[in-house]
Amino acid sequence: MTTVARPNFFLLLGLNPNEVWNQTLFEETLQQKRGEWSRQGAGVTKKALVAKQNLALLQQIGEVMLDSAQREMEASAARKELTSLRNVQLEQFARQLAFMNAKDAVEQEEVARFIDAFKHLLTPEEITSRISVKIHTAAPTHTKTASMLDVSIVKSVTDRLPLIHMNTLYELLQCSTKVTTPELLRAAEKFYMQAVRLPPTAEVTVKIELAGLARQVFKSEEHRASYDESIRQASLAQLLNELDASVSRSTEREVHQKQVLLFLENAKKEGWREHEALARLRAYARQRKWSMTTPAIHEGAENVSTQATRLVMAQGAGVLPLSQTVITYEIKLPTLFRKQRTLHIAADPPGDLPDLLLMSRQGRLPFGKNDGCLFYRLTGASLSKRSLVCDLPDTPLPSRTFAKLFLGDDSTYRLFMVHHPCEDRMRLN
């Protein structure tokens, strides 16, 4: 007679199998779960069915957890299951880390999000130590200095300069950007005194207003820095608008590599560092839903390579190609015309496949290749086309038995990636 697998009671109740047994905590938790399952059990949804199954286990939970010998066996099984789950999560962490380390560099914000996603596995220090690429710390922000100069002043300057066909206050005062701030303030005072003596016209009025604004901008180093940053931001916004106009005329919605190089070259002339300009361009491309071929930046020389980026990552004695072979699969159950279970495997690109293990588990999907029973092994297969169909064993199985495909050798995850289908296509019955 086949024994139907059930959930581990420590994990079902959320109790730590490594802690000293606490009878009071167990009783309180069980009472809380009983109420929770009773509320969820109304209806015919999947969540309701699971809740009903859990309610049916209440008597067995009491028998197992109140018997010290059975409880210890349950705790041991829970520890093994948690270890298996942790191994799967560490495997996932390693694959995500490989993608991160395959970049030229990463932003501090991306690292923070990565740490937050895996902080339950490793400490922030342990995660950071495994990141081998350069981490761009946030560039010194001008938010603080910008707040010292009222944004309405910057807007007033920006609105009025085009009326007299000028671009900056430096051009208005006929001064270089290298002139000191006190000299610029004196130039603004002089320009203002000259302008107010002129016969009133629309142009003179604009110049008087701009001269008054220039006196506010150049009255301190902080205000000047804020204005200079507004010029810098406007210059990049103009470049993005010009690129947008070009891309919008194309049906491809794609920014080609030479266009990226031209954008970065123009941005550099406006005082932008290449990695900053590239980061802004990437963000703009994501917002506009463009595809983009990104060149490589050599940080030391601040030069952009004229060849396409080819990313590799050292891993042990080998390297990790940027493009892995993606393996997809699904299980098809017997039908009127097909009397056997079949496993359908595809690979992109086609080629030799690694050893593959199809692990089965009753009641839920296996967490990893060490969780459950080996149902089928595929060895030495090769795909000349895009799909392969394998007959699976016609073994009688308990209801709700699932199977999941894993690579037999963990080291091959650097070359292959398994994409799992939806749960319905991972059922063996």
Same domain, 268 and 332: no
Mean of per-residue pLDDT scores for the chain: 83
Neighbour-count burial for 20-38, b at 16+ CB within 10 Å, e otherwise = eeeeeebeeebeebeeebe
* Model pLDDT for residues 196-234, shown as the tens digit of each residue: 999 988 888 999 999 999 999 999 999 999 998 888 888
Higher pLDDT: 314 or 278? It is: 278
Domain boundary among 310, 331, 353: 310
Same domain, 334 and 412: yes
CATH code, 372: 2.60.40
Domain boundary among 291, 310, 329: 310
Mean pLDDT, range 291-318, rounded to an integer = 48
303 by DSSP, 3-state: which?
strand
Residue 165 has pLDDT above 70, yes or no: yes
**pLDDT in the model for residue 148:** 58
Residue 43 has pLDDT above 80, yes or no: no
Same domain, 265 and 212: no
Residue 303 has pLDDT above 90, yes or no: no
Specify if 91 maps to a domain: no
Specify if 344 maps to a domain: yes
Q: How far is CA 407 from CA 48, 411, 413, in A?
A: 35, 9, 7
Specify if 107 maps to a domain: no
Domain boundary among 63, 82, 101: 82
Specify if 421 maps to a domain: yes
The answer, as to whether pTM is greater than 0.75, is no
Residue 140 has pLDDT above 60, yes or no: no
* Model pLDDT for residues 81-108, shown as the tens digit of each residue: 898 888 888 888 888 888 888 877 888 8
How sure is the predictor about 386, in pLDDT bands with cuts at 50, 70 and 90? low
How sure is the predictor about 137, in pLDDT bands with cuts at 50, 70 and 90? low
Residue 336 has pLDDT above 50, yes or no: yes
**pLDDT in the model for residue 309:** 38
**pLDDT in the model for residue 132:** 87
Higher pLDDT: 329 or 311? It is: 329
Q: Which of 39-43, 172-176, 308-312, 393-397 shows the lowest mean pLDDT across its residues?
A: 308-312
What's the CA dihedral at 184, 185, 190, 195 to 10 degrees? 90
**pLDDT in the model for residue 385:** 67
**pLDDT in the model for residue 307:** 38
Give how many domains the chain has, as a whole number. 4
Amino acid 368 reads G
389 by DSSP, 3-state: which?
strand
Cβ pair 356, 377 in contact under 8 A: yes
Same domain, 404 and 342: yes
Residue 63 has pLDDT above 80, yes or no: yes
Same domain, 334 and 304: no
Cβ pair 276, 264 in contact under 8 A: no
Same domain, 306 and 396: no
Retrieve residue 214's tokens: 């220039």
The CA-CA-CA angle for residues 147, 236, 260, to 5°, reads 145
Specify if 127 maps to a domain: no
Mean pLDDT, range 1-30, rounded to an integer = 85
Mean pLDDT, range 156-167, rounded to an integer = 88
Query: pLDDT above 70 covers what percent of the chain?
Result: 88
Mean pLDDT, range 76-80, rounded to an integer = 92
Same domain, 306 and 341: no
The C-alpha atoms of residue 113 and residue 30 are separated, in whole angstroms, by 35
Domain extent for 327: 321-426
**pLDDT in the model for residue 73:** 94
Same domain, 71 and 147: no
Specify if 315 maps to a domain: no
**pLDDT in the model for residue 314:** 34
Retrieve residue 416's tokens: 């292959």
Same domain, 275 and 332: no
Mean pLDDT, range 75-79, rounded to an integer = 92
Same domain, 298 and 330: no
Q: Which H or E run includes 348? A: strand 342-348
Query: pLDDT above 90 covers what percent of the chain?
Result: 31
Q: Which of 198, 178, 277, 209 is nearest to 237 (CA)?
A: 277
Same domain, 409 and 334: yes
Same domain, 216 and 262: no
Specify if 115 maps to a domain: no
Mean pLDDT, range 353-363, rounded to an integer = 91
Specify if 408 maps to a domain: yes
Q: Where are the beta strands (DSSP E) in 152-203?
A: none
